[in-house]
Chains A and B, each alone.
Chain A
């Protein structure tokens, strides 16, 4: 397999093969298949890692080391009775999970999931098709992804309000305040790297950091990196910001009345969002897949690290209260992000 890597922007610009519709469709199928599989597998990894951190074994009995637990879960989710509560607004109730899942995958359309490659010629039918790294290399890539993930919060919001359940309402209210809190920080924190690179496209970010670890943007923008990580945790509603479905307080928040596959779609959406945030963090701050030849491996390692970090944090840290989240985002993180942007601007001008 020939892997085209962007060690130099110029060669990239000259040798870019034509992106055909077939390539994009193949890429979309790859993303859908791989990410859903990883999202499902992520639940297994999460259970295992959390178990190990609590000195337990985790799932062990379905398949070797519990590897087929995923299948058992899938069978369970698919065969469960589909319940719509009596007083719920059934149309909105049914649509809400698809919003979460769909926006999570739409966001992935503009994210580089693997380096691009050309299908070898001996493959029948598809031989020679160039599969791009991004299904849709938009010139506003980052904005699109963040916007899509923000739109995904309509899922929890509508779900919580449609299900005629007080815990759901509280979950929806928390969705709203969480959304209002972190979205500003996400945008502002990633603004500084965007100023440095001068582009909103992930491919440009990747190309800008080609040339080894010392070129990674994390060294120039450590503050933005930390801010983005914090906001990313809030965006994917992972611990310590999982106010939306905080079991100890609001039963299951917006997902209280959901069961079976509808609940599963929320779950897949959440895990796909985790992967998206991990990819964005890896591409924007940690050099992405720019290493020559082994880009596919390094991006997997980097994304894996962020994924593991999310589980690690979940095992270690307690949740915070909604008012603490608002305090943190509005009074601490946002000023820091603004200062960071200003300083970046001054340094760039001088």
Chain B
């Protein structure tokens, strides 16, 4: 579809629905009749009734629309991309991140900094992991690329801070160990799709 129909400014040739507003009265008597009709139509009182009804609804029928924001919050979509969370494994409580570095690699604003080392069991552990939220554009690529569902976007959207560049450390984003039972599996950005099992195919080994 082209843009032609939107560029046509000749009002009336398009499929506009015209309101029937009637004719403005010309003669004095007609004007007078219109004034009298409008005056005694009671529309002003309809207006008064509407506001009164809303006031009664708000006060007595629990129809108040104000959200007392810092104290109450509206639910947000699970796909909302706010400050990251690092999740833990539910069974062992160990953090999920395997230090693969994919998130650091894919981050388009280069704001993830991480380092890894071998621990005493010769296993890889994350020794350093920060995200510079002064640069993060919350694109969600890191969450999408993470093979372990370790880094996800959480719902914490109050990102105002006193410093222009505020770094978040691994420990700050990691689910606290005592809140492990409260950890929510993330069904938003980068999560496994509900029909993931059906999409699994055998790895084609025979080239």
Contacts and interface: CB of A to CB of B under 8 A. Distances in A.
Whether A associates with B in a native complex is yes
A53 B49 CA distance: 10
A139 interface: no
Contact of B51 (A56, A60, A316, A332): A316
B54 interface: yes
Contacts of B161: none
A53 B48 CA distance: 10
A55 B51 contact: no
Given A56-B64, A57-B68, A317 B47 contact: yes
A56 B48 contact: no
Contacts of B57: 55
A53 B35 CA distance: 29
Contacts of A55: 54, 57-58, 63-66
A328 to B, nearest CB: 10
B55 A52 contact: yes
A334 B66 CA distance: 44
Contacts of B44: 316-317
Contact of A53 (B51, B63, B66, B68): B51
B59 A52 contact: yes
Contact of A312 (B51, B59, B63, B65): B51
A77 interface: no
Contacts, number: 40
A214 interface: no
B192 interface: no
B158 to A, nearest CB: 18
Contacts of B68: 57, 60
Interface residues of B, number: 17
A176 to B, nearest CB: 26
A54 interface: yes
B137 interface: no
A72 interface: no
A56 B66 contact: yes
A26 interface: no
A315 interface: yes
A126 interface: no
Interface in A298-334: 312-313, 315-317, 332
Interface string A81-97: 00000000000000000
A53 B55 contact: yes
B206 interface: no
B69 to A, nearest CB: 11
Contacts of B160: none
A316 B50 contact: yes
Interface in B109-145: none
A280 to B, nearest CB: 22
Contacts of B50: 316
Given A52-B59, A55-B57, A55-B58, A315 B65 contact: no
Contact of A54 (B35, B47, B52, B54): B54
Interface in B31-71: 35, 44, 47-48, 50-52, 54-55, 57-59, 63-66, 68
A312 B58 contact: no
Query: Among A55, A57, A332, which residue has the most Cβ atoms of chain B within 10 A?
Result: A55
Interface string A59-71: 0100000000000
Contacts of B64: 55-57
B30 to A, nearest CB: 16
29 contacts: A49-B55, A52-B54, A52-B55, A53-B51, A53-B54, A53-B55, A53-B58, A54-B54, A55-B58, A55-B63, A55-B64, A55-B65, A56-B64, A56-B65, A56-B66, A57-B64, A57-B66, A57-B68, A60-B68, A312-B48, A312-B52, A313-B48, A316-B44, A316-B48, A316-B51, A317-B44, A317-B47, A317-B48, A332-B35
Interface of A: 49, 52-57, 60, 312-313, 315-317, 332
Given A53-B54, A317-B47, 5 more contacts: A49-B55, A52-B55, A56-B58, A316-B50, A316-B51
